[in-house]
Structures are given as structure tokens and as C-alpha cells.
Amino acid sequence: MIIAMPTNHNFATVRFTLNRNIATSRSAFTNRQRTQEYDGVYWSAEVTLPPMKRSDAVEWIAFLSRLQGTKNTFLLGDPSHTTNLGTYNGDFLAIESRLGTSSTLLNFASSNNTISDNEQNDSFQGLATGDFVLISGASADENNGTFKITTFVNDNGIRVDRDITNATEQACTIKDNAKGITGLNLTRTGTAAGTIKKGDYLALHDAASATSNPIQYVMAVEDATVTSNDYAVRTEPKLRAAATNTHYVKFANPKGQFRLASNQTSWSVNEASTYGLAFTAIEVING
């Protein structure tokens, strides 16, 4: 159950933290390091409210009590960034999966960072320059992960934004808007238009509805590529689950879904009957 947060006071301070679960190993002989990022990536927030009298404090005490510790949830966004820098003038965009999941043999050419469909299956059909794609299954680590398309060559070939390793006939899977990707392919809703800028927040929602609920809170880390009605934006952190086609992504005052980090609810009060309240929250991870 989502509990509405009081609006009678702004926060005194909020410390937002992006938490990652990364394992690191190092060779005892060469000191070479290898890293592996796991799915447990989420935001947390340490919130302090300004001193307030009982008439105001009771709203927050009631709110924290209704959360019932970690049981219920609430919506929270970065309070310093409630208005995004981009000029997109709609409340929502929508997930647009521009290609279906494809399994094929790929060639990787390091000389020009080109990835080609060796079987001529039109595996990149539907994508365009600026879009994001997730490739997995290649034997070289450099040939897996999120790629931004710098040049859409044709339905069987793309040039990408980072170095790759020469390889031929690698059995790979190609997806967009998939679990683990750090880039979203989106489309506008209605007649909305405008930009999405680096530093803007977005909230992925659980349905194609204005009354849907957020399931992941992300930040744009590059200005979006805008082509007609379509948007492609690099985001962090990676998607914890595949984004569903047509589901909404909130742009106007986006918020994540959070719960208290503890089952304890406390506050202080001094001899002047001034209350002090603070709490720590973590982003909800479903599934």
C-alpha cells in the first residue's frame, strides 16, 4: 500500500545514494582485476525534516506510523530536482521496444566498431542511429552489454559507441529495453514534444496508465537523442527487469517508490515542544 507523504513542510536535508552490488576479484599473480555487477542496484535516501511544532509534526508522525515500518511504501523524488531541465512538455513518455528478441550469429569488427548479422536475419530492423541495444552471449566481455548506435548501417549492421574485440560468428542475443541495459528506447505520448537533458530523472511505471505506480527510478546521464516522435536516452542505474512495451515512463516530477529502511519509528521533542524527525528509506525492489 502506498501512503501519501505530507506536504506541509519541505525537507531540511536529503542525502540520496545510488547503491550497487559489485563483486571484485584480483589475481594474486598479475593483480589484474575483474568486476561483476549483480542485480541489486537501488537508491536510498536519508531524510531530515526541519524543526516544527506539534501541529505540523503530527502530520509526519502519523505518516511514519501508517507506513508500519517496512510494510507500506511511499513516493519520493530528489527534492532539488522536481522540475527536469529538459523541455519535454508531457507528463509521460512510453516504452517502445523497437525490435523483438533476436538470436543470431554476429561478427564484431574492431577497426570501425561495427557489429554485423552474419546470418542476414535483419536483426537490427526497427532501430535507428542513437538507439540503445543490449547484446549478450559473445565470448569477449567487450562485445557484451549496452551499446549506443552511432551509425545505423542497415537492418544487418550497426556501428556502436565503444570499442569491441574482433570476433566472427558469435552466437548472440539482441534486445532493447531489456534487463541489465543502461539505455531506454522511448516514444512520446500524445502530441508532447521537447528534450530530455542529462541529469533529468525518469520513473518507469508498471502500466500504460497515468494512475500506474513507479517500479524503478533512473537518471538520464546523457542528453537524449530525439528523432521525430522517438527518444533514446542513456540512463543509470541499469534496468532491474525488462521494461514492458507501451508502459509509461514519467517525466514530469518523477518519483520512485520507497519504503522505510527500519521497522522502528521515532522522533524527538525538546522543552520548547519543538519536534525533530528523520528517517532513512530504500527504493522498493519487486520481483
Domain with CATH 3.30.200 in the chain: 13-77+258-283
State how far Cα 145 lies from the chain centre: 16
Domain with CATH 2.40.30.290 in the chain: 81-96+181-254
pTM: 0.91
CATH architecture label of 13-77+258-283: 2-Layer Sandwich (3.30)
CATH of domain 102-175: 2.40.30.20
User: Domain 81-96+181-254 maps to which CATH number in 3.40.50.720, 3.40.50.10490, 2.40.30.290, 1.10.10.10?
Assistant: 2.40.30.290
Helix (H/G/I), strand (E/B), else coil: 198: coil
Q: How far apart are CA 11 and CA 49, in angstroms?
A: 5
pLDDT in tens, the chain (287 residues): 999 999 888 899 999 999 988 788 887 778 888 877 778 899 999 999 999 999 999 999 999 999 999 999 999 998 888 889 999 999 999 999 998 778 999 999 999 999 999 999 999 999 999 999 999 999 998 999 999 999 999 999 999 999 999 998 889 999 999 999 999 999 999 999 999 999 999 999 999 999 999 999 999 999 999 998 999 999 999 999 999 999 999 999 999 999 999 999 888 999 888 999 999 999 999 86
Q: Would you state the pLDDT for residue 152?
A: 95
State how far Cα 211 lies from the chain centre: 20
